[in-house]
Amino acid sequence: MKIPRYITVLFVFMSVVIALSGCQIGGKTRNNETGTLVVLDQNESLFKSHYLPHITNAYPELEVKLVPYEAYMSEQMSKVGMGAREEALHELLEQYNPDIIIARDDETYRQLIEGNRLKVLDGLIQEGKLELDLAATELLDPIKDNDGLKYALASHFSGSVLYYNKNVFEKVGVPLPTEGMTWEQVYQLAAQIPAKDEGEDSVYGFANAIASSPYFSILGIGASEGLSYLDEASEKVTVNTPEWRRIWEMVLVPLREGHIFSTRQGESNGNPMALFKEGKIAMMYANETILSQLINDNLPWDTVAAPINPRYSDQGNGLHYLAYFGIHTKGGRTELAWEIIKQLNGEEIAGANWGQGIPLRKKLADQQFKGTDLTPFYRLAAYPASSGAKLPKKITSDFLMNFLMEGERKAIAVISSELTIDQALKQLEEMGQLLLEQDRAKVK
């Protein structure tokens, strides 16, 4: 009996639909894939909460084995120092041979590429005709290597910008912030906002919501200028320098004069976001987490891109991907790994992870932020991982914690006029050197 052509076409169509739906993650369909899939994620808790449920729902017979990255890394760094990070990652890759690798920072991602640990995805992207629907093509740049190839997929990024309250500037007659401002210009502009010290009526020119304290503001600006407080070659702490002194003065003097808002350790000066909305902070350096709140208010606010280092006028330290999803070159389940990372970065699951940064997909970003112009968040390219200040490898987390606490104490002493900047830097360098020598003895 001859089967009518329309029935044949319908049968083929249904077969394709069934085959495709069997690979779906996040939907109601299931896949009969069995065996083990090994995943290395630098943030195991996020993987378990955001991605593992989707995988187990789609592949109920598949065992997902998570590499114990965090525990092993912590153990090795406490024994050997910060330099253990790269070596420990190599050891984990050799021991567990994961199929999927999820890097949570750009430096690790670049190390994986340099170590030939990640499969090039360009061919798979073209073959699968993967539609990325990006808000801007430059958002792909962070996943490209110097060869222009892509070694990972990503669904969200985070960016920091300079928010400003137009009402405050109009009220005091001070020019609005502009694109391409340096950190020094931001602090100078903040100092033009008349400082008030009248309790609840205080008005501040600037708040750094990214840094938890004045000292962390200093370190962040220093890092953007390529400064380090440690010299690995000479094994010396180097903070008592003209370059560091300029930044200490830039940050702490206007803060002491009342132009800069800060919640110092052990004190509570209010919520910077609330003060910004009330017109008591003129400018605020922050990431996208406050964007949804501002969108729903009638406050006349706007943004410009993050402050720049004049030597790298097209780069900033605000933009970074929240996760890089790659396929291990030595993994045994390349096809399955590709299907899974493709779906984890697809529209359905990416759209379900609201609050996890800014979606790369324009449709999702427009939905989440109601069509707000997000260009300032990605206008500046991220600083290359190789351009920033590098910490010596043979130091432990104990040294970092103790040194940062000491720096915080010195900064507070300067703000309260107990120490001059010169005195603080001299004492910090001396104490830091002592802490470093004690740490080196421990590591050796």
Which contacts of 123-128 are long-range, i.e. CB under 8 A and separated by 24 or more positions?
Answer: 124/338, 125/150, 128/342
In which residue are the tokens 């509570």 written? 268
Residue 99 has pLDDT above 50, yes or no: yes
| Amino acid identity, position 140 | L
Residue 380 has pLDDT above 50, yes or no: yes
Residue 80 has pLDDT above 80, yes or no: no
How many helices and strands (H and E) does the chain possess?
19, 16
Question: What does the pLDDT read at residue 233?
Answer: 73
- The dotted CATH code for 5-66+97-158+321-378 is 3.40.190.10
Which contacts of 145-152 are long-range, i.e. CB under 8 A and separated by 24 or more positions?
Answer: 145/110, 145/113, 149/120, 149/122, 150/120, 150/121, 150/122, 150/125, 151/109, 151/112, 151/113, 151/118, 151/119, 151/120, 151/121, 151/324, 151/326, 152/103, 152/109, 152/118, 152/121, 152/324, 152/325, 152/326
Looking at the chain, the whole-number percentage of residues with pLDDT higher than 90 is 53
Cα R_g (the chain), whole angstroms: 25
- Mean pLDDT lowest among 154-158, 414-418, 429-433: 154-158
For 186, the enclosing helix (H) or strand (E) is: helix 183-190
Mean pLDDT in residue range 6-29: 40
Structure tokens at 416: 């309260």
State the Cα–Cα distance between residues 37 and 32, nearest whole angstrom: 14
For residues 126 and 287, the model is more confident at 287
Handedness of CA 169, 171, 172, 173 (dihedral sign): positive
Q: Answer yes or no: same fold for 5-66+97-158+321-378 and 160-318+393-443.
A: yes
> What letter does residue 141 receive in the DSSP assignment?
G
Confidence of residue 201 (pLDDT cuts 50, 70, 90): low
State the Cα–Cα distance between residues 279 and 299, nearest whole angstrom: 9
Contact 207, 262 (CB under 8 A): yes
Choices 3.30.1490.20, 3.40.50.720, 3.40.190.10, 3.30.70.1290: CATH for 160-318+393-443: 3.40.190.10
DSSP per residue over 49-84, as a string? HHTHHHHHHH-TTEEEEE--HHHHHHHHHHHH-TTH
Question: What does the pLDDT read at residue 293?
Answer: 85
Question: What does the pLDDT read at residue 16?
Answer: 35
For residues 325 and 23, the model is more confident at 325
Structure tokens at 367: 């939905």
State the Cα–Cα distance between residues 345 and 356, nearest whole angstrom: 13
Residue 27 has pLDDT above 70, yes or no: no
> What letter does residue 417 receive in the DSSP assignment?
T
Q: Where are the domains of the chain?
A: 5-66+97-158+321-378, 160-318+393-443
Task: Tell me the CB-side half-sphere exposure of residue 228, using CA atoms within 13 A.
Answer: 15
**CA 252-253-255 angle, 5° bins:** 65
Closest C-alpha among 154, 149, 141, 164 to residue 314: 141
Q: Phi and psi (nearest 5°) for 208? A: -100, 100
SS3 state of residue 375: helix
Contact 165, 299 (CB under 8 A): yes
Question: What does the pLDDT read at residue 8?
Answer: 36
Structure tokens at 227: 């400064």
Residue 48 has pLDDT above 60, yes or no: yes
pTM of the model: 0.85
Confidence of residue 317 (pLDDT cuts 50, 70, 90): low
- Please state, rounded to an integer, the average pLDDT across all residues of the chain: 84
Of 139-143, 183-187, 437-441, give the range with the top mean pLDDT. 183-187
